[in-house]
């Protein structure tokens, strides 16, 4: 389990602003659109940010702005990521911070499964689904760390929040476990942890990232299908993928503005 480029994730005080050229540019643009500025600053829940602009202002305001990329073409469905996540975060049985789905696309329809979240990978599928396959792939899923997160909006006590670096996190000292966030998440990324009796979900391994490490799932992926990086770092892989503009997001109609991007996502994936 070795981390990739650990130095890239050196964390410094997020309050220290990074006055780069992009910030100056954005500042000018924002200054010219007073109404939009008001919306952006005061109405995080109300302002609609299109999927094409997930980094619109935070890039200018914080030192790091993290993003996650899943390359569907590379995923082999081994389940390493699911196992690593379970171990790293003590995720209880029958619940998942990340899971992998298998899609078998046939003329008659789509076969999808994720046996125990693909904790043990996948077994060969029944013969009736194996014949006349048009396409097949495995797709990892997790919290999308949305820029416009409905879970944050609905939390009645503000226990779940969005950090300036892009993490959607839960304050365990405040969560009531009412379950409203579980209902509001369109991706079913959240659950009530039956052991802790609090809301739970993927944190992009915040505890690791803050120590300059990568999320556990990223470190164990043998295919490098999972990529985590800093959009503020012009050399990072996520920045290059983002710039290439070939990514997609899940459920764009939900207007959640995810910062988990997919490469090679087939239209059958929901």
Per CB under 8 A, the segment of 14-22, 66-74, 107-115, 229-237 that binds another protein is: 107-115
Token pair 């503000």 is found at: 158
Q: Pick the piece of the chain touching another protein (CB under 8 A) from 22-30, 31-39, 63-71, 171-179.
A: 171-179
247 near another protein (CB under 8 A): no
What number of CA atoms fall less than 13 Å from residue 150's CA on the CB side? 15
- Using the rule CB under 8 A, is 254 a contact of another protein? yes
DSSP states of 94-108 as a string?
A: T--SEEEEEEEEESS
What is d(CA 160, CA 176) in angstroms, rounded to the nearest whole number?
A: 11
Restricting to residues 175-234, which ones interact with another protein according to CB under 8 A? 175-180, 182-192, 197-198
Question: Shortest approach of another protein to residue 176 CB, angstroms?
Answer: 5
Contact segment (CB under 8 A) with another protein among 7-15, 21-29, 71-79, 105-113 equals 105-113
Distance of closest approach, residue 41 Cβ to another protein, in angstroms: 14
Which stretches within 104-254 are classed as H helix? 127-130, 150-154, 180-184, 206-209, 216-220, 237-244
Among 2, 48, 158, 244, binds another protein (CB under 8 A): 158
Nearest CA to 125 out of 145, 141, 111 is that of: 111
Q: How far apart are CA 158 and CA 144, in angstroms?
A: 19
Residue 186's SS3 state is coil
**Contact flag: residue 150 with another protein (CB under 8 A):** yes
User: Binding of another protein at residue 146 (CB under 8 A)?
Assistant: no
Phi first, then psi, for residue 80 (nearest 5°) are -55, -40
User: Residue 166: which of 149, 188, 190 has the closest Cα?
Assistant: 149
Among 59-67, 156-164, 206-214, 234-242, which window interacts with another protein (CB under 8 A)? 156-164
CB of 192 vs another protein, minimal distance in Å: 6
Q: Is 153 in the site for another protein (CB under 8 A)?
A: yes
Residue 45 CA to residue 156 CA, distance in Å, equals 14
Residue numbers 75-104 binding another protein by CB under 8 A: 94-96, 99, 101
Name the site residues for another protein (rule: CB under 8 A). 44-45, 94-96, 99, 101, 106, 108-114, 116-117, 129, 141, 150, 152-159, 174-180, 182-192, 197-198, 253-254, 268, 270
């Amino acid at each position: 389990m070795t981390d990739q480029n650990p130095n890239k994730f050196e964390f410094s005080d997020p309050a220290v602003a990074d006055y780069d050229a992009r910030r100056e540019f954005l500042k000018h643009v924002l200054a010219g659109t007073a109404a939009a500025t008001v919306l952006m600053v005061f109405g995080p829940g109300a302002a609609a940010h299109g999927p094409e602009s997930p980094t619109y202002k935070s890039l200018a305001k914080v030192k790091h702005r993290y993003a996650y990329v899943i390359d569907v073409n590379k995923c082999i469905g081994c389940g390493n990521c699911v196992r690593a996540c379970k171990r790293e975060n003590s995720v209880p049985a029958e619940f998942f911070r990340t899971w992998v789905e298998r899609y078998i696309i046939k003329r008659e329809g789509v076969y999808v499964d994720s046996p125990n979240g693909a904790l043990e990978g996948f077994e060969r599928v029944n013969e009736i689904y194996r014949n006349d396959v048009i396409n097949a792939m495995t797709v990892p899923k997790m919290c999308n760390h949305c820029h416009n997160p409905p879970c944050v909006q609905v939390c009645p006590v503000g226990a779940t929040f969005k950090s300036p670096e892009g993490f959607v996190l839960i304050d365990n000292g405040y969560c009531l476990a009412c379950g409203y966030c579980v209902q509001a998440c369109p991706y079913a990324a959240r659950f009530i942890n039956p052991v802790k009796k609090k809301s739970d979900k993927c944190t992009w391994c915040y505890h690791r990232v803050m120590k300059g490490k990568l999320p556990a799932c990223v470190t164990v992926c043998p295919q490098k299908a999972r990529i985590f990086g800093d959009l503020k770092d012009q050399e990072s892989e996520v920045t290059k993928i983002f710039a290439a503009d070939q990514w997609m997001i899940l459920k764009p109609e939900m207007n959640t503005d995810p910062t988990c991007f997919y490469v090679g996502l087939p239209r059958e994936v929901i």
